A = this chain, B = another copy of it.
Amino acid sequence: MTASPLNTRLSTRWPLLQAPMAGAQDSAMALAVSGAGGLGALPCAMLAPDALRAELATLAASGLPYNVNWFCHTPPVPDAAREAAWRAALQPYFEELGLDASAIPTGPGRAPFSAEAAELMAEFRPPVVSFHFGLPAPGLLARVKSWGAFVLSSATTVREALWLQEHGADAIIAQGLEAGGHRGHFLSDDLSEQMGSFALLPQVVAAVRVPVIAAGGIADAAGVRAALALGAAGVQVGTAYLCADEALTTPAHRAALRSEAARHTVLTNLVTGRPARGIVNRVMRELGPISAAPSEFPLATAAMAGLRAAAEKRGIQDFTHWWSGQNASGCQSAPAADITRALARGFDPDNDR
């Protein structure tokens, strides 16, 4: 590699990325991580336009590097029959809670990247923009690149990594099966193709020319060292930030992450319609965790969110998703800056072993 190191290209002290975690963090976490020498991220999939503008303004005003993250799925055409089938699958739970399912609105749940989003971002020119589920259409991607943004996306197979390189990603996040939250696969829905980091990372590194960022299972400095040993140019860490002071994680989610419950996570499509990893809960146990019932991503979100909200009002967590990777051992109640500095020790060769 003759290119400059990844941290130089990200304008950070270390090539350490905080994984964007929609619903679990906002710009406060991003600023804390970037201030400590990593690259903080703003997840945009669940932000309304006004909130998005405010968050981008906050990040841009900081003078720190930051990463703005988008889901770039194609919104599906709503399918009334499929939505009815999804609600029918949940009907026993609606009844158990005395809920009128028809009172729960439909809706997308997650916003995709769009021309409007690109225009809004262009005002702030975020230095790093990352995508999940592939890349946006060429014209939209060109718009993002027009202000010099460094573009990242996630690969879950060697084939996806090659595709991303070919289509303009400046670096590739190799998302191992251990990772929490949504899987980033986009060329195949066959979950059996998903690989653990020990297999995915070195094979992606061998296949592409661009820098590869390891994600999935990295919980501490030792994990960083292991990823570097396998050829990673940098790492992305999510779960270890979920109990940070700046996280929006609920007390129940924090407690679960720090309990034995976190030893059993599953990939489930019950929350949004796409597979995402979280701590197993009652509805995942009873319906799936992978089921044919949910509406297409992200339309499945609305019904489950309504069920969850109603249950939580009654103090019931049976339908609450607590995203987590398979290695929650790094979760600490601490400022995100401290977590960042502890992870960054993995980049210091003097601390090796």
Measured CB to CB, the residues of A under 8 A from B are: 157-159, 176-178, 192-193, 195-200, 202-203, 206, 216-220, 222-223, 225-231, 263-267, 280, 289, 325-327, 329, 349, 352-353
Do the beta carbons of A192 and B280 come within 8 Å of each other? yes
Nearest B-chain residue to A157, judged by Cβ: B263
Q: Could you jot down 11 A-B contacts, CB within 8 Å?
A: A158-B263, A192-B267, A193-B264, A195-B326, A199-B217, A199-B325, A202-B223, A202-B329, A203-B329, A206-B329, A349-B353
Closest to A221 in B: B229
Q: Are A195 and B178 in contact (CB under 8 A)?
A: yes
Residues of B within 8 A of A329 (CB): 202-203, 206
Q: Is the CB of A222 within 8 A of B230?
A: yes
Query: How many identical chains are in the complex?
Result: 2
Provide the bound-state CA to CA distance between A152 and B222, in Å: 25
Are A229 and B222 in contact (CB-based, < 8 A)? Answer: yes
Contacts of A280 in B (CB 8 A): 192
- Least Cβ–Cβ distance between A218 and chain B, in angstroms: 7
In the complex, given contacts A198-B327, A226-B227, what are 17 additional A-B residue pairs having Cβ atoms less than 8 angstroms apart?
A158-B263, A177-B196, A178-B195, A192-B267, A192-B289, A196-B197, A196-B216, A198-B216, A198-B217, A198-B226, A199-B327, A202-B223, A203-B327, A203-B329, A222-B231, A223-B230, A226-B230
Contact of A226 among B158, B226, B263, B264 (CB under 8 A): B226
A178 neighbours in B (Cβ, 8 Å): 195-196, 198-199
Which interface residue of A198, A200, A206, A218 has the most chain B CB atoms within 10 A? A198
Contact between B192 and A218 (Cβ–Cβ < 8 Å)?
no
Complex alpha-carbon distance, A280 and B191, angstroms: 13
In the complex formed, the residue of B with least CB distance to A158 is: B263
CB distance from A177 to the nearest CB of B (A): 5
In the complex, residue of chain B having the shortest beta-carbon distance to the beta carbon of A195: B326
CB pair B225 A198 closer than 8 Å: no
Q: How far in angstroms is the closest Cβ of chain B from A8?
A: 18
Name which residue of chain B comes closest to A290, CB basis.
B192
Known contacts A158-B263, A202-B223, A327-B203: A217-B229 contact under CB 8 Å: no
A323 CB → nearest B CB, Å: 14
Q: Which residues of B contact A349 (CB under 8 A)?
A: 353
**Chain B residues near A203 (CB, 8 Å)?**
263, 327, 329
Q: Are B197 and A197 in contact (CB under 8 A)?
A: yes
List of B residues within 8 angstroms of A225 by Cβ: 226, 229
A228 B353 Cβ-Cβ under 8 A: yes
A263 touching B159 by the CB < 8 A rule? yes
CB A284 to nearest CB in B, in angstroms, measures 9
CA distance A220 to B203 in the complex (A): 12
Of all chain B residues, the one with the shortest Cβ separation from A346 is B229
A193 nearest CB neighbor, chain B only? B264
